[in-house]
Amino acid sequence: MFAWRYLDEAARELGTSERFGDRESAEDWMGASWSELRERGVEVVELIDVQDGRTLYRMPLSKPET
């Protein structure tokens, strides 16, 4: 099981996403949801393996600069 942990700019936890059965589903969901999360004040997300509590990676939600 995988989930996303939501963090603010000071790395304080704001909440978590629903759980996903596989990493690909979690990443697909984030691809469709990141802008809405950003509008709600989420600055950074972490993909976590729920079963062992391990953070797989951290990713900022800021828009790329052009």
Q: Tens digits of per-residue pLDDT, 2-41?
A: 999 999 989 999 999 999 999 999 999 999 999 999 999 9
Q: How confident is the model at residue 62 (pLDDT cuts 50, 70, 90)?
A: confident
**Number of other CB atoms surrounding residue 64 within 10 Å:** 4
> Is residue 27 domain-resident?
yes
The whole domain housing 20 covers 2-60
> Is residue 8 domain-resident?
yes
Q: End-to-end CA distance of the chain: give it in Å, rounded.
A: 36
> Is residue 45 domain-resident?
yes
Per the structure, how many domains does the chain have? 1
**How far apart are the C-alpha atoms of 16 and 4, rounded to whole Å?**
5
**How far apart are the C-alpha atoms of 26 and 4, rounded to whole Å?**
8
pTM confidence score: 0.89
